[in-house]
Amino acid sequence: MPITPQELIANLGDLPPLPQVAAQVLRLAADPDASMDDLQKVISTDQALTAQILKISNSAMFGMVREVTTLTQAIMTLGFSTIKSVVIASSAKNLYSRGAAGLQERLLWEHALTAAMAGRAFGRCLRFPRAEEVFISGLMHDIGKSVMALKFPERYVSLVKTVYNERCDGLQLELDTFGFDHAMVGEALLHSWNLASSLEDAVRWHHDPAHAPKENQPLAALVALGNQIALDQGAGIGKPETLSAATAQAMEVLGVTPESLEPHRETVLEMLEMDKSIIKGL
């Protein structure tokens, strides 16, 4: 019997809150009257976030003559939508490392970031109009793992060790052990953070994109493809083969075949290669 969302919440108890600055930035990003100035004021209250944004602006501008040294410049360079991604990225990164007791925090983060970049690149190749949403969903897709590690430190860490040593299917083991998996927990977290329901769906169905609500199947499918590339590239814990069912569903949802996807896969890998400096720098 699958667990109901109410039972899941009862099992998990309080979920980690979205950092305040991130919540404010998201509110501004959704407000058509908000200005760059408002954004700058909110972000500058958080020094770590400001530093991270400057770092990212400079990595994106690699090879440019002028270095970005102020937040205002960075906001002008990156634009509202990218800043929003960066802020969510930084919230996600903090949470991935907090819930990392023995989880190899760096690996979890690199996995999420690689999946996000690859998913977005596939989105661009396939002319998906909301590529930035794929990026954000990709960043968050395994956040449920961190929440589970925070909530059940011993049981979850021993589960991760089993997955790592025996290279078995972690999702099934989660279901067998807890009655729910990290995709369901991720959905519950994003719901409590009040993020868009499209992101919730993408996270909930990243291992099963054909079962997402119709309108968000392509989004979930692109995250699934990004997830596959990340494991193929050795970024993350688990055998790439454990994702083959999800990847097959993703291709069906997107109306592509392994053959028609192959040239895009090549492009995505090239893009990832170029973005590696960003991944290492974050």
Binding site for Fe ion (CB under 5 A): 142, 227
As measured in angstroms, the least distance from the Cβ of 158 to Fe ion is 18
**Between residues 142 and 200, which has the closer beta carbon with respect to Fe ion?**
142
| DSSP string for 221-263 | HHHHHHHHHHHHTT-SSS-GGGGHHHHHHHHHHHT--HHHHHH
As measured in angstroms, the least distance from the Cβ of 100 to Fe ion is 15
Given the structure tokens 């958080």, which residue do they identify? Answer: 46
∠223-227-228 over CA atoms, to 5°?
A: 120
Distances (CA, A) of 240 to 136, 170, 226, 275, 278: 22, 12, 12, 21, 24
**Between residues 23 and 157, which has the closer beta carbon with respect to Fe ion?**
157
As measured in angstroms, the least distance from the Cβ of 247 to Fe ion is 12
What is the C-alpha separation between 113 and 23, in angstroms, rounded? 21
**Between residues 43 and 223, which has the closer beta carbon with respect to Fe ion?**
223
As measured in angstroms, the least distance from the Cβ of 112 to Fe ion is 7
What is the C-alpha separation between 96 and 16, in angstroms, rounded? 11
3-state helix, strand, coil split of the chain in percent (to 5) is 75, 0, 25
As measured in angstroms, the least distance from the Cβ of 280 to Fe ion is 19
**Between residues 81 and 244, which has the closer beta carbon with respect to Fe ion?**
244
Residue type, 52: Q
**Between residues 84 and 145, which has the closer beta carbon with respect to Fe ion?**
145
Q: What is the CB-side half-sphere exposure of residue 173 using CA atoms within 13 A?
A: 18
